[in-house]
Structure 1
Amino acid sequence: MDKQFCIFDMDGTLVDSMGYWKRLGREFLAQKGVTENVEPVLERIKPMTMTESAALFIESFALSGTPESIAAEMNAVMDEHYRRDVPLKPGADRYLQALRSRGARLCVATATPEPLARLCLERLGVADQFEFLLSCDAVGGGKDRPDVFFEAARRLGSAPADTAAFEDAIYAARTAKQAGFYTVGVYDENSAGRWMEMTALADETIRDWREAL
């Protein structure tokens, strides 16, 4: 990968957190007494921001509260995981260091709220590898739209074709690809069933950070 500008997803790409996120919606709804017709809604929230997901929960299950208050409750659950036990994927730190050593400019674009993302990456000792962290909340939509990629490239001062977007989720990789970015698909066991689709879509793939150097 020879691009000098790089946009990294966080969850499932740099950190091994997708298992926590997959359980979060189901566990949160169960705490609210919602156990039926959950799976179709959980599938729909995959490309959404936390606030968008909360709004869909309210609409689908008549939960009390606002999208912001529901999102805050879910954020509180993930806050504990990011503070304590979400791990960095093996070799990711060395890969980032290698890019920086050759002058590449890096940022994070994530659906996770920026304070949670920063908390996690600082604990793991890699936050200083990035010029900035950008949350999808800041651009008003998830990675089913290209806004967050375009904004990240704007801040880096790069054109999409000169910028690599690292993603584990096929929908996000497809969005970046269609927007003209050089797309790097990163393997995550939580989306293993779509890996062949990712290898066909992405310009480059990384199955293990330790083997990518």
Structure 2
Amino acid sequence: MKTVIFDLDGTLADTSGDLIAAANHCFRDMGAGDVLDPVQDAGTALRGGRAMLTLGMSRLGRGDEVATIDRYYPMLLEAYGAAIDVHTQMYPRAMEAVEVLKAGGYGVGICTNKPEGLAETLLQRLGVREAFGALVGADTLPVRKPDPEPLFEAARRAGGDPARCVLIGDSDTDRNTARAAGAPCVLVTFGPAGGDMAALEPDALLDDYAALPALVDRLLA
């Protein structure tokens, strides 16, 4: 079976608002107030918790305090898990595209660098977990993206051949994962960093999920 494997944050769903809120919870605990902006810093949010803490600490003139970032990272994850779906929304037509792909005989799965437990919780809260045949998170395996093994594992768990998969993502991490796996990569242009995707030279760019099924057919022909 051919499989279509999706990144989660910034690809299937805009999770940036809830991620920024969790980071600002940490900065308020430091007495610094809300250091990050939900709009301006959305791109950094989708790169993960440590990236947000590092950016905020640098704005406070404390970017070299690695121990502080390490100490607050668990607090960030706890705050995020407690309010994981307040602002998060699936991107338009994403789930419609998933259903069309499944009807066309493709397996579908998720390969994310979000911890698996948080990804599982979020997908359940959004009511879409059952649509995906596989979920591989940052801590599912001993390695994470851009190592290709999480992508291969997601394809296997979705019932497919790892050599016949395509990765849908939104970052250089996804592009590098696909490159390491020898798999085609589609990068979405509607996320916070969408304008930068063309420079990464993916196999295709996606402006609207309505176009994905035909694009996948072409790439995996």
Q: How many residues align?
A: 198
Give distance in 2, aligned partners of 1:160 and 1:5.
8
SS in 1 for 2:10: coil
Give distance in 1, aligned partners of 2:204 and 2:138.
24
CA distances 1:152-206 after superposition (whole Å, capped 9, x unpaired): 23434544441011111123222212321121111233113412214xx222221
Q: Which amino acid aligns with 1:202?
A: P
Q: How does 1:53-202 map to 2 (within 5 A)?
A: 60-63=65-68, 70-156=72-158, 158-198=160-200, 201-202=201-202
SS in 2 for 1:84: coil
Change (3 A) 1:51 1:126: same
Q: TM-score, normalised by structure 1?
A: 0.74
Residue 12 (structure 1) aligned with residue 10 (structure 2): yes
Q: TM-score, normalised by structure 2?
A: 0.72
Say what the alpha-carbon RMSD is for the aligned residues: 3.5
Change (3 A) 1:51 1:142: farther
CA distances 1:90-121 after superposition (whole Å, capped 9, x unpaired): 10010011011112111111111222212222
- 8 Å contact kept, 1:47–1:144: no
Unaligned runs of 5+ in 1: none
Most deviating of 105-114 and 70-79: 70-79
Change (3 A) 1:22 1:146: farther
- 8 Å contact kept, 1:8–1:166: yes
Q: Which amino acid aligns with 1:32?
A: M
Identity of aligned residues (%): 25
SS in 2 for 1:136: coil
Aligned-residue offset at 1:8: 0.9
CA distances 1:23-63 after superposition (whole Å, capped 9, x unpaired): 6546634533579xx9xxxx999766x589989x9983432
Give distance in 1, aligned partners of 2:125 and 2:21.
22
Give distance in 2, aligned partners of 1:20 and 1:44.
13
Give distance in 2, aligned partners of 1:188 and 1:21.
18
Unaligned runs of 5+ in 2: 37-42, 58-62, 214-221
SS in 2 for 1:137: coil
Give distance in 1, aligned partners of 2:51 and 2:140.
13
